A and B are shown apart, each in its own frame.
Chain A
Amino acid sequence: MKKAIITVVGKDQVGIIAEVCSFLAKNNVNILDISQTIIQGFFNMMMVVDISAIEKEFVDLSEEIDALGNHIGVNIRLQHEDIFNKMHRI
C-alpha cells in the first residue's frame, strides 16, 4: 500500500471536508484515517490516505489538490508519507 498524508489548514467554513472527500473519491484515493480539530477558529485536518489505485501521476494530483485549496480558501498539502516516517521514526 502506498500512503500519503493530506493536511488542510484554514479558516473554518461549511463544506471543507465534503469538497476534499469528493475530490479524493473522484481520484480513487481511499481515506484510511482522519483527525480534525478547530483551534481558535482555524480548521486543522490530517488525513492518511491510500494512493495505490490513483490513475494520475502523484505530482499532478498534488497540484490539483493545491488548486482546490486555493479555490475554497484553505491551504491543502498532499505529501508522500515517507517524509514524516523518515523524520520521526528510526
Chain B
Amino acid sequence: MINLFEVAETNKMIEQENLDVRTITMGISLLDCMDHNLEILCQNIYKKITTLANDLVKTGNDIEKKYGVPIVNKRISVTPIGFVGASACKSIEDFVLIAKTLDRCAKETGVNFIGGYSAIVSKGMTTAEELLIRSIPKAMKETELVCSSVNVGSTKTGINMDAVKLMGEIIKETAYLTKDKDSIGCAKLVVLCNAPDDNPFMAGAYHGVSEADSIINVGVSGPGVVKNAIAKAKGKDFGELCEIIKKTAFKITRVGQLVAMEASKQLNVPFGIIDLSLAPTPAVGDSIADCLENMGLESVGAPGTTAALAILNDHVKKGGVMASSYVGGLSGAFIPVSEDQGMINAVERGALTLEKLEAMTCVCSVGLDMIAIPGNTSNTIISGIIADEMAIGMINQKTTAVRIIPVIGKDIGEMVEFGGLLGHAPIMPVSKFECKEFINRGGRIPAPIHSFKN
C-alpha cells in the first residue's frame, strides 16, 4: 500500500515544485466540414468543434479535482485550415472569417487556445495555402485565441525558401498590425520544420491529416520537479545525474498518462499521445534555465550549456518513454525566453545571446521560442533566422521552430510584457549584417542526403 512518504513526495511536487499537466488538447478533424460555400463551411466547423469539445474544460477541471493535480490548459487543435478552407476561400477576408469562427468556438467551449490556423507548405504552396499565409497578420489581429503555424520544411522534402521569405514578411506585418499590444500577434505564430501531426502545445498545435477524427493528446510539464531533483545530485557524476533525471521524468509522465487515459475515458475520445515536454512558465522555480544552472553552470549561455541541455532533453525522453504507451508531439525540453524567468535573467546579465540559443536548439525539443527582437529588424534578416533554424531541423531530422517577435517601436534592452503564460522578455540584439541576396533567390533547398553522416 502507498505510504506516507510517497504521498508526501507527490504532493510536494504539486504544491512546491509546480508539477502540473500543462495541457489536455483535443485534436479535431475538420476534413468532413469542407464545403464550397464559405458560410456552410463555417457553420460546419462551429457545430463540430462546439459539439465534440463541449465538455472538454469541465472534464479537465473534474480530473484536476479527482487527482489533486493542476491541469493548466485545455485546448483544441484542428486540421490545418490551409486544407479545410481550400475550396471555399477565394480571398484573405474569406480565411479571416474562418479564423473568427475558430475564435468563437474557443470562447464558446472555454478553452484558452485553438491551434490549426496552419499551412503545411514544406515543398510547395497551393493558392489557398498562400492566401492563408497572407491572411495570418489580419487573422492574428482580429482574433484572440487562435494560434497559427506554418511548416516550411522537412527532412524528406527540403526547405521551401519561397515560404521562408514570405514568412519574414508575414511576421513583420503581424508585428505591425498588433503593435498596440507589443506585437503580441507574433507570439501566436510559429514557423516549423518537421512539424509533428500530434503536438498538443501551442502555438504549433494542429490536428494532422494522418490522425483519427478526434483524439486526446496530453502535454506534461514539471521543470521545477526536475530542477529540485538535479539540485540534490550536486557533485555527483554524469551517470548518477542522468539516472535522477530519468527517474523524475518517469514519475511526471505517469501522471500525464493517468490524466490522458481518464480524459479519454470521460470524453469518449481515443487517447492519442503524451508529449513528454518540460515546459517552463514565468513562475519562479518553473524554469529550464534553473535545471541547467543546477547542473553546474554559472549561467545559462556559459560554455557547457548545449551539453547540459542535451543531457536534460535526452534523459527526459528516456525516462518518459517507459512511463507512457504512446509518446509523440515535441517531447523534450522547451527553451522559450519570455516564458522562463531563468532565461530572462540570463539575457539580462548578458550571458545568453541569440546565437547561443540557436546552438542550443540543435539539442532541445523545438527551437527559437518567444524571443523578442527590435521592431526595426528587416524582413530578410527574420527570414535568414528562420532559414538557419529550418536547416538545423532538416539536416538533423528533428522538429525545429521559430517564434520570434519583432516588437514594433522597441529596441535592444527594453522590456516587453505579453502577460500570463507568455511572460515578459528583454529585447535581444540581432546581427545587423544582411542576407537579402540569399533570401531573395527564391525556390527550394533540396532534401538532404541520408548517408555520409558527419
Find out whether the CB atom of B255 lies under 8 angstroms from the CB atom of A86: yes
Find out whether the CB atom of B255 lies under 8 angstroms from the CB atom of A87: yes
Q: CA of A80 to CA of B9 in the docked complex: distance in angstroms? A: 16
Find out whether the CB atom of B7 lies under 8 angstroms from the CB atom of A58: no
Q: List 16 A-B contacts (CB under 8 A).
A: A5-B2, A5-B7, A7-B8, A37-B4, A44-B8, A46-B4, A77-B11, A79-B67, A79-B68, A80-B66, A81-B2, A83-B69, A84-B7, A84-B10, A85-B2, A88-B6
A59 interface neighbour in B1, B6, B11, B65, Cβ under 8 Å: B65
Q: Most B CB atoms within 10 A — which of A7, A33, A44?
A: A7
Find out whether the CB atom of B1 lies under 8 angstroms from the CB atom of A83: no
Q: Which 4 A-B pairs have the closest CB atoms?
A: A79-B68, A83-B67, A86-B254, A88-B6
Task: Say if the beta carbon of B257 comes within 8 Å of chain A.
Answer: yes
| Residues of A that sit less than 8 Å from B by CB | 5, 7, 33, 35, 37, 44, 46, 48, 58-59, 62-63, 77-88
Q: CA of A81 to CA of B3 in the docked complex: distance in angstroms? A: 11
Q: CA of A59 to CA of B255 in the docked complex: distance in angstroms? A: 18
Hey, which chain A residues are within 8 Å of B254, CB to CB?
Answer: 86-87
Question: Which B-chain residue is minimally distant from A36 (CB atoms)?
Answer: B4
Question: Which A-chain residue is minimally distant from B258 (CB atoms)?
Answer: A86
| A87 with B10, Cβ < 8 A, contacts A79-B67, A79-B68 known | yes
Q: Chain B nearest CB: distance from A23 CB in Å?
A: 17
Give residues of chain B (401-448) contacting chain A, Cβ–Cβ below 8 Å: none
User: Which bucket holds chain B's interface residue count?
Assistant: 20 to 34
Q: CA of A45 to CA of B411 in the docked complex: distance in angstroms? A: 55
| Residues of B that sit less than 8 Å from A by CB | 1-4, 6-11, 62, 65-69, 251, 254-255, 257-258
Q: A81-B2, A83-B69, A87-B255 are in contact. List 14 more A-B contacts (CB 8 A).
A: A5-B7, A37-B4, A46-B4, A48-B1, A58-B65, A59-B66, A62-B65, A62-B66, A83-B67, A83-B68, A87-B6, A87-B254, A88-B6, A88-B10
Q: Most B CB atoms within 10 A — which of A33, A44, A80?
A: A80
Hey, which chain A residues are within 8 Å of B6, CB to CB?
Answer: 84, 87-88
Hey, which chain B residues are within 8 Å of A46, CB to CB?
Answer: 4, 7-8
Q: Chain A nearest CB: distance from B147 CB in Å?
A: 30
Hey, which chain A residues are within 8 Å of B69, CB to CB?
Answer: 83
Hey, which chain B residues are within 8 Å of A83, CB to CB?
Answer: 10, 67-69, 255, 258
B66 interface neighbour in A35, A44, A79, A85, Cβ under 8 Å: A79
Q: Most B CB atoms within 10 A — which of A63, A79, A81?
A: A79
Find out whether the CB atom of A48 lies under 8 angstroms from the CB atom of B65: no
Hey, which chain A residues are within 8 Å of B2, CB to CB?
Answer: 5, 48, 81, 84-85, 88
Question: Which B-chain residue is minimally distant from A83 (CB atoms)?
Answer: B67
Find out whether the CB atom of B7 lies under 8 angstroms from the CB atom of A7: yes
| A35 with B4, Cβ < 8 A, contacts A82-B258, A84-B10 known | yes
Question: Which A-chain residue is minimally distant from B322 (CB atoms)?
Answer: A90
Hey, which chain B residues are within 8 Å of A33, CB to CB?
Answer: 1
Q: CA of A62 to CA of B65 in the docked complex: distance in angstroms? A: 7
Q: Chain B nearest CB: distance from A38 CB in Å?
A: 13
Q: CA of A33 to CA of B7 in the docked complex: distance in angstroms? A: 14
Q: CA of A63 to CA of B10 in the docked complex: distance in angstroms? A: 20
Q: Chain B nearest CB: distance from A82 CB in Å?
A: 6
Q: CA of A7 to CA of B5 in the docked complex: distance in angstroms? A: 11
Hey, which chain A residues are within 8 Å of B255, CB to CB?
Answer: 83, 86-87
Q: CA of A44 to CA of B68 in the docked complex: distance in angstroms? A: 17
Q: Chain B nearest CB: distance from A57 CB in Å?
A: 9
Q: Chain B nearest CB: distance from A34 CB in Å?
A: 10
Q: Most A CB atoms within 10 A — which of B4, B8, B257?
A: B4
| A82 with B7, Cβ < 8 A, contacts A5-B2, A48-B2 known | no
Q: CA of A46 to CA of B62 in the docked complex: distance in angstroms? A: 22
Q: CA of A7 to CA of B255 in the docked complex: distance in angstroms? A: 18
Question: Which B-chain residue is minimally distant from A60 (CB atoms)?
Answer: B65
Hey, which chain B residues are within 8 Å of A78, CB to CB?
Answer: 68
Q: CA of A6 to CA of B255 in the docked complex: distance in angstroms? A: 18
Q: Chain B nearest CB: distance from A31 CB in Å?
A: 13
Q: CA of A59 to CA of B251 in the docked complex: distance in angstroms? A: 24
Q: CA of A56 to CA of B449 in the docked complex: distance in angstroms? A: 62
Question: Which B-chain residue is minimally distant from A35 (CB atoms)?
Answer: B4
Hey, which chain B residues are within 8 Å of A58, CB to CB?
Answer: 65-66
Hey, which chain B residues are within 8 Å of A48, CB to CB?
Answer: 1-2
Q: CA of A35 to CA of B2 in the docked complex: distance in angstroms? A: 11
Question: Which B-chain residue is minimally distant from A4 (CB atoms)?
Answer: B66
Q: CA of A45 to CA of B67 in the docked complex: distance in angstroms? A: 18
Find out whether the CB atom of B65 lies under 8 angstroms from the CB atom of A87: no
Q: Chain B nearest CB: distance from A20 CB in Å?
A: 15
Q: CA of A44 to CA of B1 in the docked complex: distance in angstroms? A: 18
| A7 with B66, Cβ < 8 A, contacts A87-B251, A88-B2 known | no
Hey, which chain B residues are within 8 Å of A77, CB to CB?
Answer: 11, 68
